[in-house]
Amino acid sequence: MTFDRSMVMTFTRVYLGEILGCLTFILDTGMIMSTRFFIHDVTCLDMYNYTICETLNEHHSQQILLQEKVADLIATHRLINVISLLLTGLFLGALTEVAGHKAGMSIGMFGYFINSICLTVSCVLRPSVTPVKYILIFAGVSVQGLFGERIVVLKNALAYSLTQEKTDHTQRQLVFQGVTFFGSFLACIGVSLPLEVNPQKKSYFAIYLWLSVMSFLGLILPLVVKSSPDSQSDVYETFKDDHPVAQNVDGTKLGNPDSVDDAIELSAINDDNRKLIKSSKRINKNTPTTSRVRNTCSLLRAVWTNVVSIVLILFKGREFNNQTQILVLLFMVGYIGFVMQWYIEEIVLFTFLPPLNWRYFENSIQYVIYALTASIYGVVVLPIIRKVANLSDISVYILGKSAYTLSVTFMIIYPSKAWGIILYSIL
């Protein structure tokens, strides 16, 4: 197989992007390693070993030693992710460019399945501590680092490059959506099962049960909406290719140097409002349940289109293209579940912050608020910033990871401040 100049440049760009991303992971690893120096009088309560510490009631020094081992385990996870990301840039990125986005997507899905299975089995084996459990945890994290980090990139590549036919594109995207959140659902169930048998952990069980429900909704709702030919017309009515775009008198698109008044663009929003009213009238008590669900989702899509359009006008930006709107909306329902599932392997960090521990998360409602904050940032603020500032994928990735590292640093320096947790949730 021969490589031309453009292909070599693509490999170089992907590889350098992953290296820059790994630099932030290395900083993040240093932050987690430093938590070993902040361990004082804390209850040994972490995601993997809390039962041991509660039942043994051994000497405090032995509990500290166990916590240090857990800290080393987390840091090792990070290092595995760094190495895996380097392999990702060289292997998966090259495979995607050579064999197409479909091949890269298939491998990414396979990696996600393996990761979900490993994490689920390891959680079911808890609270017993065996070498098998740690092997499964390491395997799950390493596979996720190798194949899972490029899932978002592959989703965008799928949306833009897999096919030009809208119907086929939507069906493929739904399959990918369902497979992804089915893995999240299995992982969440595996986490919640051991917590159910411990009455002292009812609040934690409620958190993970909520997480499982959200992941399940992220899987089911989009499939229900797209289950009949009638629903296809509702979806494509909002995201059709001839979506009205405001133009100047001479026929040019609004937003060029000849544009006089951005208020003309509100005509497109008015059309969406008419669709919004039309969709809302279809929702009544006499409508079958399945149709009411489809119409409600169509109504939510129309609302989302209005929000995006209005916000972009305020920021003097342009509205997203059709593919981006569809992509964002498909993951909007399950995004909260994804954010909370992400906490499962990250939340152990809070164990090593003495004034913090778990008291900020004893209330599951508070936990949901943090996840909602993060979801609003992810599906609203970040796309707008990226659109207005015209940022590339690599720039957004580096910006997010750098801000994430800063938030971890802030929590270590000021562990009693709730703002550190909120910032951590958002980033």
Residue 183 belongs to a domain: no
Q: How many helices (H) and strands (E) does the chain have?
A: 17, 0
Confidence band (pLDDT; 50, 70, 90) for 97? low
Q: Is the pLDDT of residue 386 over 60?
A: yes
Element holding 40 (H helix, E strand) = none
Q: What does R_g of the chain's alpha carbons equal in angstroms?
A: 23
Q: Is the pLDDT of residue 32 over 60?
A: no
The pLDDT score that the predictor gives to residue 313 is 44
Q: In the numeric block, which tokens belong to residue 361?
A: 């998360």
Buried (b) or exposed (e) across 241-271, using 16+ Cβ within 10 A? eebeebeeeeeeebbeeeeeeeeebeebbee
Distances (CA, A) of 267 to 306, 316, 322: 11, 16, 17
Q: In the numeric block, which tokens belong to residue 159?
A: 């949306």
- pLDDT tens digit sequence for 224-264: 444 333 333 333 232 333 333 334 444 444 443 334 343 34
DSSP string, 66-103: HHHHHHHHHHHHHHHHHHHHHHHHHHHHHHHHHH-HHH
Residue 312 belongs to a domain: no
Q: Do the beta carbons of residue 30 and residue 86 sit within 8 Å?
A: no
d(Cα 98, Cα 295) in Å, to the nearest integer?
41
Q: Is the pLDDT of residue 102 over 50?
A: yes
Residue 228 belongs to a domain: no
Q: In the numeric block, which tokens belong to residue 379?
A: 């599906």
Average pLDDT over residues 339-346: 41
Highest mean pLDDT, choosing among 22-36, 62-76, 134-148: 62-76
Percent of the chain residues past pLDDT 70, beyond the cut: 0
Residue 184 belongs to a domain: no
Distances (CA, A) of 160 to 62, 116, 170, 172, 253: 55, 27, 11, 12, 22
Confidence band (pLDDT; 50, 70, 90) for 391? low
d(Cα 422, Cα 367) in Å, to the nearest integer?
10
CA angle 117, 427, 124 (to 5 degrees): 20
d(Cα 244, Cα 268) in Å, to the nearest integer?
5
Of the candidate ranges 139-143, 215-219, 237-241, the one whose mean pLDDT is the lowest: 237-241
Average pLDDT over residues 134-139: 47
Confidence band (pLDDT; 50, 70, 90) for 381? low
Of the candidate ranges 122-126, 133-137, 328-332, the one whose mean pLDDT is the lowest: 328-332
Average pLDDT over residues 297-326: 45
The pLDDT score that the predictor gives to residue 110 is 54
d(Cα 234, Cα 27) in Å, to the nearest integer?
47
Residue 106 belongs to a domain: yes
The pLDDT score that the predictor gives to residue 68 is 52
d(Cα 261, Cα 255) in Å, to the nearest integer?
9
Q: Is the pLDDT of residue 99 over 50?
A: yes
Residue in 19, 141, 13, 18 with CA at minimum distance from that of residue 75: 141
- pLDDT tens digit sequence for 269-291: 444 444 444 444 443 444 444 44
Element holding 165 (H helix, E strand) = none
170 exposure class (CB count in 10 Å sphere: 0-12, 13-18, 19+): buried
Q: Is the pLDDT of residue 388 over 60?
A: yes
Residue 402 belongs to a domain: no
Q: In the numeric block, which tokens belong to residue 233?
A: 């017309």
Average pLDDT over residues 366-371: 46
Contacts of 185 (CB under 8 A, 6+ apart): 212, 215, 216, 219
Q: In the numeric block, which tokens belong to residue 34?
A: 């430093």
pTM (two decimals): 0.24
Of the candidate ranges 55-59, 161-165, 235-239, the one whose mean pLDDT is the lowest: 235-239
The pLDDT score that the predictor gives to residue 65 is 53
The pLDDT score that the predictor gives to residue 95 is 53
Residue 115 belongs to a domain: yes
What mean pLDDT value characterizes the chain? Answer: 45
Question: Residue 253: left (phi > 0), alpha (psi -120 to 50), or beta?
Answer: beta
d(Cα 119, Cα 346) in Å, to the nearest integer?
13
Contacts of 319 (CB under 8 A, 6+ apart): 265, 268, 308, 309, 312
Residue 397 belongs to a domain: no
Q: Is the pLDDT of residue 389 over 60?
A: yes
Percent of the chain residues past pLDDT 90, beyond the cut: 0
- pLDDT tens digit sequence for 396-413: 555 555 555 455 445 444
Q: Is the pLDDT of residue 128 over 60?
A: no
DSSP string, 173-198: HHHHHHHHHHHHHHHHHHHHHHHHT-
Q: How many domains does the chain have?
A: 1
The pLDDT score that the predictor gives to residue 350 is 40
d(Cα 242, Cα 255) in Å, to the nearest integer?
18
Average pLDDT over residues 360-371: 44
Q: Is the pLDDT of residue 387 over 50?
A: yes
The pLDDT score that the predictor gives to residue 267 is 44
Print the domain residue range for 155.
1-162
The pLDDT score that the predictor gives to residue 242 is 36
